[in-house]
Chain A
């Protein structure tokens, strides 16, 4: 069955051996005006965000939102529980005081902020994703070992099998192949 149906290509992957080479290639691909492409590295390469033309990550907003929610939750919860729903006088202290409520609210700020940054990161990266065309490729599995890859998707409007291959070859890739969807 599978061999009779035409498999769609996902994209072209080009392997690189050094961090400098892949950084160089990324600048070339960026300048060529591609949109749907990415660089895959075993560790974050310094300067790659700029070489790819990426903008500052938006994770901070998720963390900030989480933190604000956490602090507000703490303060409102403690006020409602100890001053409104079931007020108990303890040692003649006020029913609600922001000072006594601060430590738990502070902890909740951090807790919710941490959830915000982790889940914000996962959301922005569209993870968890248990299947990806690249993960099927044998050679690509070296990306977590010691290889660097530039991948240009076939869906990119500028993609053409010949021109793109030429660009990547000029960028110095020793190995280029097409990955099936």
Chain B
């Protein structure tokens, strides 16, 4: 019946309703493969070395700082009574929050059928994995005697004591390690068809062998694609509650305690929104220069940047709302400790940190309301960095400011980081960028097969996909 036939001559929508294609300039499948794969086939460009050498040096600095800290003790950090959690946990939460945008893009936007995600998900997932690696360093080391870290896992030890599962810190161990593992699985699964692309274009035996090993013998069989797509959907469905739970559980590390500034029910959603906010900041910081350098403007289009700015605006506004709500509840609760704490945040000795937090997280993203701002890449790039500066200060405010003036003035103090704190933090950037730059050199940074799948010519019912008016492919719904 004609009603079941899908007409190939789709009536053209009016220009204002026309969808902007996800891949600009009607690029062919081959162009996508060539353009993306070339990034890891050509010789390393000069700028790559310019970035890699300092990153690697910073990574060495991290090694030196951690060795110094392990051999001497946590006293080399500035953590001191009453501020026993400081840069270590600030940086842990900051890094793990950055990771969240990667999973949001790869999982939640997949479930929401936001097809633009395909252009950015590979790089964002890589960012997630490396950020979680940086994050994981801190809790492992701040315990002091890090050679006992394995006590965190349910492994029998000589004392026959098991981990204490009523503590949110234990939940955190499970949340973060699951998050890391599932992120790697998801990332790797997305890579399988693209590793096959790399294998089939390999010019040397070694590359063919190594990419072939990773591709697991992928042939592009549709029977395989059928299982693959289902598995990908399920992984996306599993990662969605996972990513929401990870930062919720991180926030419970604080919220379960009795400390004013920490003991609040708003923490889980507030932390998740903040995490997505900072993660999109990082995605923008990474991708704006990369699309320019790698000439990927047809794949990561202005529309992609525009949408990501809007997500940043939305999550930034949620964060701003949470800040306001914290103050309101402090007043409304009638609890003098709570009220003192929040006055102390805004007017106390750390006022500078609070002002940095509010200006970068609440005021700065509001500029994304303007299309002119969203389409000016230089401004977006600067704002995306400010977002992460602001989010770092948010964690500083939550952790250090809540601890530095506890209930009684005997527990008051002023925290200052040491040079080891600062160098360790710089070192984690070294780890992150070393890994990220190696990823850019050796793995396709764009999901090649996924991007092919969102072009118009991939659609068998679209004229560009080969559908003709006479053929009218029936949709077989017998």
Contact = CB atoms under 8 A, between A and B. Distances in A.
B200 A141 contact: yes
A42 B452 contact: yes
A91 B235 CA distance: 38
Interface in A127-152: 127-132, 134-135, 141-146
Nearest to B218: A127
A32 interface: no
B41 to A, nearest CB: 14
B231 to A, nearest CB: 4
A111 B223 CA distance: 26
A23 B221 CA distance: 13
B222 A100 contact: no
A18 B452 CA distance: 12
A85 interface: yes
What is the predominant secondary structure among interface residues of chain A facing chain B?
helix
B469 to A, nearest CB: 12
Interface residues of B, number: 75
B154 A77 contact: yes
Nearest to A125: B224
Nearest to A67: B238
A68 interface: no
A148 B221 CA distance: 10
Contacts of A19: 457-460, 465-466
Nearest to A58: B227
A36 B303 CA distance: 44
Interface string B155-196: 000001111111110110011001001100110110001001
A111 B160 contact: no
A18 B165 CA distance: 56
Interface string B137-164: 0000000000000000010000011111
Contact of B185 (A21, A59, A118, A125): A118
B245 A106 contact: yes
Contacts of B227: 57-59, 120-121, 124-125
A70 to B, nearest CB: 9
A42 B465 CA distance: 13
17 contacts: A18-B460, A41-B222, A43-B453, A43-B458, A47-B460, A57-B230, A63-B234, A78-B165, A85-B160, A86-B161, A110-B239, A111-B182, A114-B238, A125-B223, A144-B449, A146-B28, A146-B30
